[in-house]
Structure 1
Amino acid sequence: MGQTATITGIVLDENNTPLSNVNITANDIGTSTDENGFYILEIIADTKNKIIFSHIGHMKVVLENLVLTTNETYEFNPVLKTDAIQIDGVTITPTGKRNVEGIVTIAPEVVRKIPGANAGVENVLKLLPGVTSNNELSTQYSVRGGNYEENLVYVNEIEVYRPFLIRSAQQEGLSFVNSDLVQSLKFSAGGFQAKYGDKLSSVLDITYKNPTNFGLRADVSFLGASIAVETTSKNKRLSSVTGVRYRDNSLLVNSQQTQSNFNPVFADAQSYLTYTFSRKFNLNFLGNLALNIYENEPLTRQTNFGTINNPQALLVFYEGEESNRYTSALGGLKANYYPNENTTLKLISSVYHAIEDENSDVIAQYELGQVNTDLGSEELGEVVATRGLGTQFNRARNSLDALIFSLAHKGIYKKDNKALEWGVSYKHEDIRDKLMESEFLDSAGFSIRPPNPEFVNNQPEEPFDAPITAFEGVDAINFVTTNRFSAYVQIGNQKEFKNSTLYYNIGARAHHWYVTAKDNGTSSQTVFSPRFQITIKPEWKKDMLFRLSGGIYYQPPFYRELRDETGTVNPNVKAQKSIHLVLGNEYSFLLWDRPFTLLSEGYYKALNDVNPYTLEDVRIRYSASNNAEAYSYGFEMRLNGAFVPGTESWISLGYLETKENIDQRGYISRPTDQRLKMGILFQDYIPTISNLRMYLNLIYSTGVPGGSPSYADPYVFQNRLRDYKRADLGISYIFAEANNKYPKKERLRRFDELSVGFEIFNLFNNQNSITNTWVRDVDSKQQFAVPNFLTSRVFNLRLRMKL
């Protein structure tokens, strides 16, 4: 009975005017709306509640069978009319509502509490069965066989973007989404509606808060700090939520095998404001400014690999440094107009500007050989019997200036159980890119040239007189502009059909764009994308529903997809096409008198006009040609519920296979061919000390393909990385929370939330690898795949509070 949840919202009358002094009761507790029709009420969690809204001159609205999990916030905005309204038998799942659209909802409190090296929204998404990332230093993720660039991200319907030049997760800094500002989170792993944009894999739909009173939230740890402030004016017309974050990844990176002087500074500031001019019109503003400064002076590295019978080691001594700076700014303005209770009209505009600079001069002198395994030797673990000596010099002078402007109109008309949605948009992209990279290889005093015909020689037996040439180099300057026009329309309806409830949504998108690349010409293309979702809930004793969704999805090429491995832009690259089909089931039931939900989905994607790519950590290099076809299929299950009373946990399991056929040479595994994936999110507490809480997330996934060396044929190199295994543990003591506040005379009475705890990242100290470094043995010409290992076990302290 001590575990509570919250229901909140605004009560309106028939004219869409907020009603004050509406009585709201739930069992033996109650409240009333303020002068703006706003209410907030705490109810008992993990049990059925009956909520009654009553007001003089209006008929009651009754919400029955409402089941919420502990600390969950559910928004409900009823309309009181002069006629009788009865909302009877509403079935609410443990996540807060019945999902007929196939979208997963995750409580913001879960996002904020679950530990992880990159704690936040993406940290929790990676525990879902179809979401994959084998890099705890990255906030990027792939979904059901897609790559990192196939995912849509919206914040209050404003599309957000990721940096372009990022090549290492250490440089990434902060995720755009600030979890302290989040009110709701929705995620679709495929088969999403036409109102969402043109990508192949997934949609992450974030809604930031509209606060109703003052609040202050702070989070401090060894990895950084964040603070979020919620404000509202006296007349409730103006509200704002603002967050500032700072992060230092050196605690994590210094646990890797490469010893370095690492100085990262990642900081951002975000603000979301709402001003209500009248009950029919309000204005929203989203602003973000992010600064990521990455400075790294690598010193030494030793990586042991090979087998027990033939242990190998790579010993590297470094000189030089990297200095990278990524700055981005986003401003978005959204106007909402409600001409009547059935219609909503929106006008959304945004400007995104990014300036990214990469400067690197790193010399790596390496020694490749066998490891001394003699337990009695003073040189145990050191490199002996050297097989290769060499020097590698990497140089980069990259800069990118990206400006993206968008303007869109969206509309919704709802009446009874029917909904009509439409939208049109225009987007202008202006990319100015200078790419200058080179890699020189030297061994035993001579330079290794590229394996091209003009460089064939017999070194070192015979002298070869030619200028020193980079083994791999790119030198390009590109100016690319893209103009995009898109539109969508979709119709949704819910009705009774043969003793069952049927919901359907049918829609389509059209997208036309033209690309202009300086010195490379102009190209244009138009695509049409029909999509559908059908859900049926039979009137069975068991609470089940079935979903079928799919359509034809396109991904029009963005700038990076137009640029090939030489840095040349090909404006004729077509949109990648995917025929997508998803079949799902949702079964809600009571176990141990607590709510649980079992979600199951099977999916299949057939991809055409595929633009093949290689993956180096989180850096994607496209071939800039549509010379492949591919497929993905899999099956996923997730059991979600209150395994421990008053908490939300889940277990997920997924199987995935994705392969591609390049130039009709046969199918090989794509870089994201994950196969098996298991994720566990678990929350617990000590019954006798209920304020002592434990949060645990575990991930196991089989290894993905490890890539291939430069200029190599991917059909030859199909080895896989080791399995990814990771556990992050957090233990906190809760001094105060929403349903456990201190008495007025206590010093801590001002805190709505206060907790202190510690986190252990990579609890079992597993050696996970993200990619391979390919080292050449000059004598035998053999290349060795040396794994790049990720972080080891790391300890972190954390303080969280809310006023």
Structure 2
Amino acid sequence: MIRLIFTCSLILFGIPALLAQSFISGRVTDALSEDAIELATLFIPESNAVAQTDNKGNYRIQVPIGEAFSLRISRVGYREITTDVRAMPGNAERTLNIAMIPVDAGVEVIVTDSRLEEGGMIVEGVEELKLLPTTTGNFESVLPHIALGASSGTGGELSSQYNVRGGNYDENLVYVNDFEIYRPQLIRAGQQEGLTFPNIDLIRDLSFSSGGFEAKYGDKLSSVLDIKYKRPDSLAASVGLSALGGSAHLEGSFQAGKSRYQRFRYLIGARYKTTKYLLGSLDVSGEYTPNFTDVQAYVTYDLSREWQIGLIGNFNRSVYQFIPQSRTTALGLINFALQLYTVYEGQEIDDFTTAMGGVSLTYLPDRDHNPIFLKFLASTFQSRENERFDILGYYSLRQIESDLGSDSFGEVIAELGTGTQHQWARNYLTSQVTNTEHKGGIEWQRAVQGETKTSSHFLQWSVKFQNEQIDDHINEWERLDSAGYSLPYDTNFVQVFYTLKSNNTLNSNRLSASIQDTYTWQKDSVAEWRVSAGLRAAYWDLNQEAFISPRAQVIFQPYAKGKDISLRLSGGLYYQPPFYRELRGLDGFVNTNVRSQKSAHIVGGFTWDFYWGNLSPKHFRFITEIYYKKLWDLVSYDIDNVRIRYSGDNDATGYVMGIDMRLNGEFVPGAESWINLSFLRAREQINGVQHLKREIGIDEAIEVDDVARPTDQLMTLSVFFQDYLPKNENFKMHLNLTVGTGLPYGLRGNNIVFRNTYRFSPYHRVDIGFSVLLWDAIRKKEKPKHFLRFTQKTWLSLEVFNLLKVQNEASNTWIKTIFNQQYAIPNYLTSRRINLRLRMEF
């Protein structure tokens, strides 16, 4: 009888629980036309549930009961969306309508907190990054914390330049709304760097690839940063102020025509930066007067349902004036300590002015069957760069008593050298880059009736013409005088240590084109495959070089229950045609026969989205990629601070290999953090040179097959961590940690045979910020008379830069004695500084 009662209880109470089901339903539409999107795929990784929209865009999908989950919506030709959904009870149904956008249409995704991955690129929003403590005021400073394989390089916190997987900054592509972005050429030190083009207040989201990118992107060896600016639907603004400068932006939209499709949208941003307070912590004391300004605007007008026009404009000016006074730098070990003391005369005045303007016209004729887009772009970039300095330094290199037991501890015990270092330059460069481009795409999608299979092709193409005009006048020299003798010493006449004088004018044209097809195959409850293959072709009339660059990618995503993973394999042949600086050698001569630098690149990647206990209702993401690059026809170079000095010839081969790992998620609910760890080996060999190195205890130099490239950094670790007070998210903490092994360098003027045999000290730095939310508009009813009620949000941040007060090295000052001995005196980066920052959003 007891067994019968137990069985009946299971039937009465267990079956209803098993039959309890919950659903989400809604409609998927086009964000521009509001038309229904047919055959869009909806997928829930936690339960392996899959559904598709019908011809009216409607869907209904069963969801897990009692637990949060992710809903992924995708359709070829549209940007994929992933949104996190709160837990639902049994027998519940929720409505969720979703608007998607065509690829490259540049319209904002309606569902927020989206995280997508197309073509192996990492895609991120920027809201979490706006309170990150940064000394440069530039968006690129945060890339090492969110992007795979990116590091800040020798410029450290003073520079926005970044290296990716063993490449230098010139090997990176940057796009804003499909316009390629250029930068000044003459900058030699982080102190001179102003504001870069991307304005974080205007950015909607970014895509970043550390290598193995698609054929639709341009011809560089290392990376692609693809930034999309916002397309606002309502009025908003922001203002930021700090000891390092300020910023302001305004955005909005309004109907500008009889049709509801005719809408005018605008984004305007202005920034000002001064690093005077920061530079005051450098070893060289003096009068620093840096002033950097940037103003830009992006406006769009929807002429009709099918046609859209966009205009972008930017004006940027960087003025750096410096009157040095004195310098005291100490270095050395416990048993041998040195001190360099220098008194200066003269000054430096640099002026870098750039302007950019562009126009785009987009045509989206049909989004229901075989959707197509056509886009036409034209832009021009101009720069005027002036670098002028005349600085005379009287130096004394001394040995300091380092014996703690000595009565003269810390005092000068020997004078190793005295002399004069005179640096003079009058460098002027003007450049203009003008281009026109057409790009387009069309999709074919097919669903197999009676089966849960879909397949599609997305064909994209582009054609681009570019004209470049360069006018370069370089005149600089350096004179060294040691103990009354000019170096290099000659009994017959006086020589200067270094001189460079050249006048070069170039006018050239480039033509490039690309075509690629992305094939996607999906089967419900089984897997998704995405295969992309394409070709790029280019020709430059200056060196008469033409090339074809094949590229391919494969992404596989199995629909295994409870496992949200994807596997990637990409690669191809990547070519980087030279720009002006690669043509100009160390002697100032322009070699127009320099060919493209080349790389055979292969990348394997793995992505895993998972939930980490009860830490957060949102999933964590772990990404790892392993890569190998075979390099040839390289133009070798040395790096001095942030200045890249090329040899002006295809004189080297090399390779780069490594592994990158990234973990991001909400270790604290509502506050996302990123952890990046990378290992790499970057080697090269100068053609026709037998490289040597010296080992301790061995008299004879040892032959080696290759040497370290200037960007060979074994390990880098970048952490951006956020936290807040328990039960009070209005008080936040932002920690920015960077650690990297030392970059290599060699003897000045003799860095060929024994190449890059020395290394800078490891770089490690901690920046921390504490932010308090002074006002949020949701508290208006509670405090209707609050003095900040006219704002939406107001944040006040206290930032501590270089919390641990570490002396990191940017470059070396070389002191040479009459006996031909050289001493490398490090030029240290900034010390600890405290900054107060106010940000108001309207």
**TM-score (structure 1 length as normaliser):** 0.86
Cα deviation for residue 749 of structure 1 reads: 3.2
Name the SS of the counterpart of 1:642 in structure 2: strand
Residues 216 and 514 in structure 2, CA contact (< 8 A), matched pair in contact too: yes
Taking a change above 3 Å as real, the CA distance of residues 739 and 486 of structure 1, as seen in their structure-2 partners, is farther
Tell me which amino acid in the other structure corresponds to 2:555. Answer: T
Name the SS of the counterpart of 1:660 in structure 2: strand
CA distance in 2, matches of 1:692, 1:9: 39
CA distance in 2, matches of 1:246, 1:646: 31
| RMSD, matched Cα | 2.7
Cα deviation for residue 527 of structure 1 reads: 0.9
1:706-745 to 2 correspondence within 5 Å? 706-713=745-752, 715-737=754-776, 743=782, 745=784
1:204-603 to 2 correspondence within 5 Å? 204-235=225-256, 237-341=263-367, 342-373=371-402, 381=410, 383-416=412-445, 417-449=456-488, 457=490, 464-466=491-493, 468-496=494-522, 499-515=526-542, 523-541=543-561, 542-593=563-614, 594=616, 595-603=619-627
Residues 368 and 383 in structure 1, CA contact (< 8 A), matched pair in contact too: no
CA distance in 1, matches of 2:130, 2:81: 30
Task: Determine if the alignment matches structure 1 residue 655 to structure 2 residue 682.
Answer: no
Taking a change above 3 Å as real, the CA distance of residues 344 and 396 of structure 1, as seen in their structure-2 partners, is same
Aligned to 2:706: 667
Residues 188 and 642 in structure 2, CA contact (< 8 A), matched pair in contact too: yes
CA distance in 1, matches of 2:29, 2:204: 12
Residues 14 and 79 in structure 1, CA contact (< 8 A), matched pair in contact too: no
Match of residue 148, structure 1, among 169, 176, 199: 169
Taking a change above 3 Å as real, the CA distance of residues 776 and 597 of structure 1, as seen in their structure-2 partners, is same
Taking a change above 3 Å as real, the CA distance of residues 316 and 379 of structure 1, as seen in their structure-2 partners, is farther
Name the SS of the counterpart of 1:574 in structure 2: coil
Residues 742 and 749 in structure 1, CA contact (< 8 A), matched pair in contact too: no
Taking a change above 3 Å as real, the CA distance of residues 641 and 95 of structure 1, as seen in their structure-2 partners, is farther
CA distance in 2, matches of 1:322, 1:379: 38
Task: Determine if the alignment matches structure 1 residue 633 to structure 2 residue 657.
Answer: yes
Cα deviation for residue 377 of structure 1 reads: 9.2
Taking a change above 3 Å as real, the CA distance of residues 694 and 741 of structure 1, as seen in their structure-2 partners, is farther
Cα deviation for residue 465 of structure 1 reads: 3.2
Taking a change above 3 Å as real, the CA distance of residues 298 and 423 of structure 1, as seen in their structure-2 partners, is same
Taking a change above 3 Å as real, the CA distance of residues 742 and 268 of structure 1, as seen in their structure-2 partners, is farther
Cα deviation for residue 657 of structure 1 reads: 0.5
Answer with 416-425 or 668-677: which moved more: 416-425
Q: Deviations over 1:248-304 (max 9, x none)?
A: 011111101110111011001010001111111111111000111110011111111
Aligned to 1:773: 813
Cα deviation for residue 312 of structure 1 reads: 0.8
Tell me which amino acid in the other structure corresponds to 2:151. Answer: T
Residues 422 and 479 in structure 2, CA contact (< 8 A), matched pair in contact too: yes
Taking a change above 3 Å as real, the CA distance of residues 728 and 488 of structure 1, as seen in their structure-2 partners, is same
Alignment gaps of 5+ in structure 2: 1-27, 38-66, 74-79, 87-95, 103-109, 257-261, 446-455, 691-704
CA distance in 2, matches of 1:114, 1:383: 44
CA distance in 2, matches of 1:514, 1:310: 56
Task: Determine if the alignment matches structure 1 residue 645 to structure 2 residue 669.
Answer: yes
Cα deviation for residue 375 of structure 1 reads: 6.7
CA distance in 2, matches of 1:754, 1:94: 21
Q: Deviations over 1:447-484 (max 9, x none)?
A: 113xxxxx7x4xxxxxx232x33211001000012210
Tell me which amino acid in the other structure corresponds to 1:424. Answer: V
Residues 733 and 768 in structure 2, CA contact (< 8 A), matched pair in contact too: yes
Name the SS of the counterpart of 1:567 in structure 2: coil
Cα deviation for residue 663 of structure 1 reads: 1.5
CA distance in 2, matches of 1:79, 1:399: 45
Match of residue 99, structure 2, among 55, 58, 77: 77
Aligned to 2:702: none
Cα deviation for residue 714 of structure 1 reads: 5.4
Tell me which amino acid in the other structure corresponds to 1:306. Answer: G
Taking a change above 3 Å as real, the CA distance of residues 415 and 299 of structure 1, as seen in their structure-2 partners, is same
1:89-100 to 2 correspondence within 5 Å? 96-100=114-118
Tell me which amino acid in the other structure corresponds to 2:814. Answer: W
Cα deviation for residue 8 of structure 1 reads: 12
Match of residue 126, structure 1, among 112, 120, 144: 144
Residues 99 and 111 in structure 2, CA contact (< 8 A), matched pair in contact too: no
Answer with 604-613 or 661-670: which moved more: 661-670
CA distance in 2, matches of 1:316, 1:754: 46
Answer with 407-416 or 421-430: which moved more: 407-416
Name the SS of the counterpart of 1:170 in structure 2: helix
Name the SS of the counterpart of 1:625 in structure 2: strand
Residues 408 and 423 in structure 1, CA contact (< 8 A), matched pair in contact too: yes
Tell me which amino acid in the other structure corresponds to 1:364. Answer: G
Residues 365 and 391 in structure 1, CA contact (< 8 A), matched pair in contact too: yes
Q: Deviations over 1:672-709 (max 9, x none)?
A: 00111111110110013320001111011100103321
Cα deviation for residue 757 of structure 1 reads: 1.5
Residues 706 and 772 in structure 1, CA contact (< 8 A), matched pair in contact too: no
Task: Determine if the alignment matches structure 1 residue 180 to structure 2 residue 198.
Answer: no
Taking a change above 3 Å as real, the CA distance of residues 327 and 76 of structure 1, as seen in their structure-2 partners, is farther
Q: Deviations over 1:121-166 (max 9, x none)?
A: 2121122440111411000111000011000000000011111000
Aligned to 2:120: 102
Cα deviation for residue 95 of structure 1 reads: 6.9
Residues 132 and 674 in structure 1, CA contact (< 8 A), matched pair in contact too: no
CA distance in 1, matches of 2:834, 2:373: 49
Residues 120 and 178 in structure 1, CA contact (< 8 A), matched pair in contact too: yes
Taking a change above 3 Å as real, the CA distance of residues 354 and 381 of structure 1, as seen in their structure-2 partners, is farther
CA distance in 1, matches of 2:671, 2:289: 39
CA distance in 1, matches of 2:668, 2:431: 48
Percent of residue pairs bearing the same amino acid type? 39
For this pair of structures, how many residues does the alignment match? 724
CA distance in 2, matches of 1:94, 1:47: 16
Q: Deviations over 1:553-590 (max 9, x none)?
A: 00000000000001100000000000000000001111
CA distance in 2, matches of 1:379, 1:757: 46
Tell me which amino acid in the other structure corresponds to 1:797. Answer: L
Taking a change above 3 Å as real, the CA distance of residues 284 and 139 of structure 1, as seen in their structure-2 partners, is same
CA distance in 1, matches of 2:459, 2:196: 34
Cα deviation for residue 98 of structure 1 reads: 3.8
Tell me which amino acid in the other structure corresponds to 1:532. Answer: A
Aligned to 2:107: none
CA distance in 2, matches of 1:215, 1:672: 42
CA distance in 1, matches of 2:170, 2:72: 44
Cα deviation for residue 66 of structure 1 reads: 2.5
